[in-house]
Amino acid sequence: MTSANVSQEAARGLPQALRTAQEAIRLPEVQEMLRRLSEYKLGICMPHMHYERTGGFQPLADEFMQVESGLAVSFRPAEEIAGQADRFLPVG
């Protein structure tokens, strides 16, 4: 099995919102956005979390942000980190 097949099989098990995000990566307008973002050393991410019990993908809730602090990435309520820019760096 090639890595492309593995990726396609894994995508079939994603929640609909994340499948939509994966499919959008192939759209010409998204590819153009990616080219423009790359000029600034930025990229496109698929915000997600994993179910603790199964490890399966789940969409990242709107009220959460992926942040880095002390070389560790975590998911925090946006309200919690809003006034703590000195403690957390949004990364996704």
pLDDT level of residue 1 (50, 70, 90 thresholds): very low
- Rounded CA-CA distance 86/27 in Å is 37
Segment 46-87, tens digit of pLDDT: 888 888 898 899 999 889 988 888 888 888 898 888 777 778
DSSP string, 10-34: HHHTS-HHHHHHHHHTTSHHHHHHH
What does the pLDDT read at residue 21? 92
Q: Is the pLDDT of residue 4 over 80?
A: no
- C-alpha span between 28 and 62 (Å, rounded): 26
Give residue 75's pLDDT.
87
Domain ranges within the chain, ordered by starting residue: 1-43
Q: What is the pLDDT of residue 2?
A: 42
Mean pLDDT of the chain: 84
Is the pLDDT at 24 greater than 90, yes or no? yes
Q: How far apart are CA 57 and CA 53, in angstroms?
A: 11
